[in-house]
Structure 1
């Protein structure tokens, strides 16, 4: 998509054209060269901000300015800035959704020359599927801070007390049965925590994996929308009913962060979400359930696997003036040594997972990741963005569609789903409206 077209999509999504005035920021250091970093406010990223003084010790002329944003804000505002060539950010936290598209558009700096000349950086150490997802024509245009798939987390102690056994490969019917058995609102215990918050990267992330494994799809091979198909209706109905019957309070406004809090504080028996959640769940200083959690693959219906593939990564917009200074920080935050810094300073459970194979070879991390390390790597390896569902599709992506329009389309559809979770509309009405949105997008591809 051309810059002007995607810029319109992004502006419609965010409703905030002046990015810098909309974001809160914090400056560190007093150097002559200011590098502004737009970063997502997840726990691992907040750790990076806290540790960034270590970078500044070796780069006294660099002043780091962080703009920390929630996931939805980050996606919208970073897209606007990059699409418009505004230059507000020198480094942007993006994902495998944006990277290949923006690289094709010429919006991102090709990082491969910087990678190749940085001694010891070792991009071959990145998990292959993660590296591939951040590459365009064989070169990396962003580098992973952490990588993830999705899996089911469950309280082993509660399952044992209730006489329940988690299968090696659970189905969504299994999950519903477990949630029903363990749901106890009087004891402040939800059977399961599931995202319900609007946002293509919030509620649609787990929900799309359910749609996929149920045999649903957004479009058929001819770009005919299929959000009103029986498979999609069954999948969405099952998800909405599950979270309404046995999910967390206020589910329609709960995203990754809210579920991380609910589960780690002992208020949910299960949580289906990103494998990167272990950095919070297994942190003994922040989690009441550390050491009590079991891990199972993403629940399935009609497929062998259902986990997604995602990575939060760092890229450098083409508008960045001092690309070398920006790369120096990007390299620091995604290097092997950073993993050891986090482990030694903050605790090994807080090391960003899923980006480098060598992370799992560090003895201290191998020890703390016994319960989740293997299943994390297996889930990432089994994710198949090119064949996400049981039928052929014209797009790639498991929990998103790698087309520019999905930023807006996914947001609109997610709002309908969230409204159904809140009880403001029915699933049928939500999908009927979503189908209309998808048909509009599909028609533009049929015309090409």
Structure 2
């Protein structure tokens, strides 16, 4: 059942009372008029759109508040949430056919950006962004640099709007650090030293944990590589995976994972890392900021109130926070592009961003949300977590290469990294993996 306008206005007032007064519902909740701010939200009333979402806390949030969008616009939304891997497969199959059943699609930038660009599957949203009847002036200015980088195509057009970002940070156990009289590391060298000092196999305490499992581990290495001021693949799709910098980053990965990580780390994905950290026997865990909520849950965690949320330490040549993220875009084949765009704009709006942040469901790319003091009051996570998000946004860089065969990249290079944990030479492993992956990348660009 649709909400009445009176109910929606009451909801808007309640939102303001909860500390979202600066991030009110899009125009109508604050003023009662759907056309406020210049955007004619009801221009496409009576239209029906189909939305394809990834099953996740982010997708849940969009679905939960969908009725608000329908009341605002008069547009009917039929949305479907599918687990990530199945959603990706379904989207590719339908988009390849040229007749997708959906108008709006939720994409993982860090995996699908290049594939969607090469397939020309997304509508260029630039004309809609420039249209004052559809978008307020300066709309894109509020998104972080990483978000706009994700959204922008090689030809300068805008594909999917930036929705939710995941910065990689270092979770650290303040009690373990205090027992060793250690401070949070500010550089890679200090991180290695702290990890070694915290490690005591006799008491089953370890200084560092990160993903060691093939495929899952590749973003750990590429994140470290950013500290050497280098990506794994350059803008012209040339591999940089066996350069001196890549080898040094791999040696750093090997050192941390062999000298300071728990036994069996080659089988660890993020869940196993999180579990180990929750038990209170790991000094530092390196992964995405979105994995934080369970750490502050007394029913799941032994480290509630003991967790520090640290900005990635500086590398030898750069200070960078690795970044992955999601976007919401309009399919090029949609017959309802403007209506679908309004949904995307609503989904990436300030209110929805505030809701994501406060629920711990995700982190918006919107700078104004992250810097809003009232919004921060409603965030369930500690202030240090929000600080880590805000500071990471300032030094964010893409964690994975913008290529089509991202999965194969992660498989091939990930296998090499796993071998390094078993003692293999990083230079030899990267040389072999680079040679193995090069023809895969070349074929993808020619396809």
TM-score by length of 2: 0.71
Q: CA deviation at 1:131?
A: 2.1
Aligned to 1:430: 429
**1:305 partnered with 2:328:** no
Q: CA deviation at 1:44?
A: 4.3
Structure 2 gaps of 5+ residues are 1-46
Q: How does 1:244-263 map to 2 (within 5 A)?
A: 244-248=258-262, 250-263=264-277
Whole-angstrom CA distance in 2 between matches of 1:245 and 1:401: 28
- The structure-2 alpha-carbon separation of the partners of 1:260 and 1:315, relative to structure 1 and needing over 3 Å to count, comes to farther
Partner of 2:161: 143
State the partner residue of 1:239: 253
User: Which consecutive unaligned segments of at least 5 residues does structure 1 have?
Assistant: 1-31, 385-397
- Out of 345, 349, 371, the position equivalent to 2:384 is 371
Query: In structure 2, do the counterparts of structure 1 residues 445 and 113 end up closer, same or farther at CA, with 3 Å as the change threshold?
Result: closer
Give the aligned partner of residue 181 of structure 1: 197
In structure 2, the residue matched to 1:152 is 170
Q: What residue is the counterpart of 1:39 in the other structure?
A: 54
Moved more, 221-230 or 109-118: 221-230
**Matching residue within 163, 167, 178 for 2:181:** 163
SS of the equivalent of 2:384 reads coil
Counterpart contact for 2:208–2:261, Cα < 8 Å: yes
CA RMSD across the alignment: 4.1
Q: Is 1:382 matched with 2:395?
A: yes
* 8 Å Cα contact 1:219-1:226 kept in structure 2: yes
Distance 2:444 2:117 in 1: 21
Partner SS, residue 270 of structure 1: strand
User: CA–CA distance in 2 between the matches of 1:100 and 1:224?
Assistant: 14
Is the CA contact 1:279–1:352 (under 8 Å) kept in the aligned structure 2? no
Number of equivalent positions = 392
Which has the higher mean CA deviation after the structures are superposed, 438-447 or 237-246?
438-447
- 1:124 aligned residue: 141
In the alignment, the residues of structure 2 paired with residue 435 and residue 94 of structure 1 have an alpha-carbon distance, to the nearest angstrom, of 25
Shift of 1:87: 2.2
Contact 2:212 2:265 in 1 (8 A): yes
Contact preservation (8 Å) 2:163, 2:328: yes
Matches within 5 A, 1:108-123: 108-115=122-129, 116=131, 117-118=133-134, 122-123=139-140
Please give the alpha-carbon distance, in whole angstroms, between the structure 1 residues aligned to 2:245 and 2:355. 47
CA contact (8 A) 2:321 2:395 kept: yes
8 Å CA contact 2:51, 2:77 repeated in 1: no
Q: CA deviation at 1:158?
A: 1.9
* 2:227 corresponds to 1:213: yes
**Distance of 2:346 and 2:411 partners within structure 1:** 33
5 Å matches for 1:4-403?
35-39=50-54, 41=56, 43-49=57-63, 61-69=76-84, 78-79=91-92, 81-83=94-96, 85=98, 87=100, 90=103, 91-95=105-109, 98-99=112-113, 102-103=116-117, 105-115=119-129, 116=131, 117-118=133-134, 122-136=139-153, 137-167=155-185, 169-171=186-188, 173-184=189-200, 189-199=205-215, 202-214=216-228, 218=232, 227-248=241-262, 250-264=264-278, 266-279=280-293, 281=295, 288-320=302-334, 322-323=336-337, 326-342=340-356, 348=358, 350=360, 352-367=362-377, 368=379, 370-383=383-396, 398-403=398-403
Aligned 8 A contact 1:35 1:325 in 2: no
Normalising to structure 1: TM-score of the pair? Answer: 0.71
* Maintained 8 Å contact 1:218/1:438: no
